[in-house]
Amino acid sequence: MRVRVAVNGYGTIGKRVADAVVKQPDLELVGVAKTSPDFEARRALDLGYPLFVAETASRSDFSAAGLAVAGTVTEMIGRADVVVDATPDKVGAANRALYDAAGVRAVFQGGEKASVADVSFNALGNYAAARGQRRVRVVSCNTTGISRAVAVVLPRWGVERWDVTLVRRAADPAESKKGPINGIVPSLHIPSHHGPDVQTIFPELPISTVALVVPTTLMHVHVNRVRLRNAPASVDEFVAALRATPRFRVFAPWERADGTPQVMEFARSRGLGHDDVPENVVWEEGVRLDGRDMHFFQAIHQESVTVPENIDAIRAMFDLAPDAATSIRMTDRALGLVRG
């Protein structure tokens, strides 16, 4: 019997999670919930997703738009084993009482504080910690990206100190009201919240993060500087480890993916849906090893990178897979990230 999943909030993350759920053999989509009609609601119905609406939403707006409504959020929750809360930042925390009252499990996103859930989650980082939990928080896109890299490096070579500069995209592609249009805005509080957030996954990691915002919509780019405990033999050893790890896409020089515009073009041509690049993107040429000091860039697609983690979180909560590797492989095959 498949686990029944409801998706509350059908925006950037919610629509991708819904798409991912319907592709999994062991999950079933109960429906998605929105607060007002738009072309996305139409698409949900076109794809056969039952459309629920917030209690406060205007039903007549939906019917005027010719959109069939299956019920309220509460009704949707009533039919689910687990809710993925993909509502805007801070709304998830407000929704928690609703989920608790309904006795339904919940997956929250990284825009919520860690305290919203029993455990913060990253599939490569701490899959086992989410096993059997009732409330799990998938960490944010940037924290997910960093955690994956840590999961590769820490067990192999050890980490004496990990510094990241996060060059953040200012808005998602469809957010037309956010800026800046021309300028760089530093996040003056150092460390940025990302470092402590990574420590919800790797509590002992000596990490420091600094962030700034730049006028692009495509991807974040991280500059990593890592002082290792033991150096790999060469850059190649590190690159080989990344290539052998799920959810990393390493670009070779001949591929000519010069920057995030080309990475997104790769994504558009690959066609997983929505231009998605759920993997950490690393450029082979952009890795440098000096003794125990390693530098590398990675690009993170803020819209999709946490989507497979939401699936794995559910699988961990309901113990649907024997271990992280199995869950990740199931997820990634279903999403088309790997073959066979």
Which residues are part of the catalytic machinery? 141
Is 182 a binding residue for a copy of itself by CB under 8 A? The answer is yes
Is 336 a binding residue for a copy of itself by CB under 8 A? The answer is no
Site track 45-64 with a copy of itself (rule: CB under 8 A), x = hit: ----------------x--x
**How many CA atoms, within 13 angstroms, populate the side-chain half-sphere of residue 86?**
25
CA 43 – CA 19 distance, rounded (Å): 11
Write out the two tokens for 52: 């629920």
Strand partners, 336: none
Is 39 a binding residue for a copy of itself by CB under 8 A? The answer is yes
Selected from 68, 94, 184, 338, the binder of a copy of itself by CB under 8 A is 184
- Interface with a copy of itself in residues 89-108 (CB under 8 A): none
Smallest distance, a copy of itself to C-beta of residue 285, A: 4
Closest CA to 313 of 303, 332, 328: 328
Are 335 and 272 spatial neighbours (Cβ–Cβ below 8 Å)?
Answer: yes
- Interface with a copy of itself in residues 291-320 (CB under 8 A): 293, 295, 297, 299
CA 136 – CA 182 distance, rounded (Å): 38
Is 259 a binding residue for a copy of itself by CB under 8 A? The answer is yes
Name the residue nearer to a copy of itself (CB basis): 72 or 165. 165
Smallest distance, a copy of itself to C-beta of residue 299, A: 7
Which one of 68-76, 79-87, 125-133, 179-187 is the stretch in contact with a copy of itself (CB under 8 A)?
A: 179-187
Smallest distance, a copy of itself to C-beta of residue 102, A: 29
Task: Give, in order, the Cα–Cα distances in Å from 24 to each of 70, 236, 333.
Answer: 23, 34, 9
Which one of 103-111, 254-262, 309-317, 327-335 is the stretch in contact with a copy of itself (CB under 8 A)?
A: 254-262
Selected from 69, 159, 219, 307, the binder of a copy of itself by CB under 8 A is 219
Kindly give, in sequence order, each residue whose CB lies less than 8 Å from that of residue 244, ignoring residues fewer than 6 positions away.
none
Smallest distance, a copy of itself to C-beta of residue 326, A: 26
Smallest distance, a copy of itself to C-beta of residue 162, A: 12
3-state secondary structure of 232: coil
Is 134 a binding residue for a copy of itself by CB under 8 A? The answer is no
Kindly give, in sequence order, each residue whose CB lies less than 8 Å from that of residue 106, ignoring residues fewer than 6 positions away.
82, 83, 84, 85, 95, 96, 99, 117, 134, 135, 136
Q: Judging by DSSP bridges, how do beta strands 105-108 and 135-138 pair with one another?
A: parallel
Smallest distance, a copy of itself to C-beta of residue 191, A: 7
Number of residues that bind a copy of itself (CB under 8 A): 78
CA 159 – CA 221 distance, rounded (Å): 21
Is 206 a binding residue for a copy of itself by CB under 8 A? The answer is no
Are 167 and 209 spatial neighbours (Cβ–Cβ below 8 Å)?
Answer: no
Selected from 25, 38, 155, 234, the binder of a copy of itself by CB under 8 A is 38
Selected from 60, 128, 177, 204, the binder of a copy of itself by CB under 8 A is 177
**How many CA atoms, within 13 angstroms, populate the side-chain half-sphere of residue 183?**
6
Smallest distance, a copy of itself to C-beta of residue 187, A: 8
- Interface with a copy of itself in residues 136-175 (CB under 8 A): 163, 165, 167, 169-171, 173-175
CA 154 – CA 14 distance, rounded (Å): 31
Which one of 89-97, 149-157, 207-215, 318-326 is the stretch in contact with a copy of itself (CB under 8 A)?
A: 207-215
Is 288 a binding residue for a copy of itself by CB under 8 A? The answer is yes
CA 335 – CA 247 distance, rounded (Å): 11
Closest CA to 158 of 227, 208, 207, 209: 227
Write out the two tokens for 266: 């790769």
Is 37 a binding residue for a copy of itself by CB under 8 A? The answer is yes
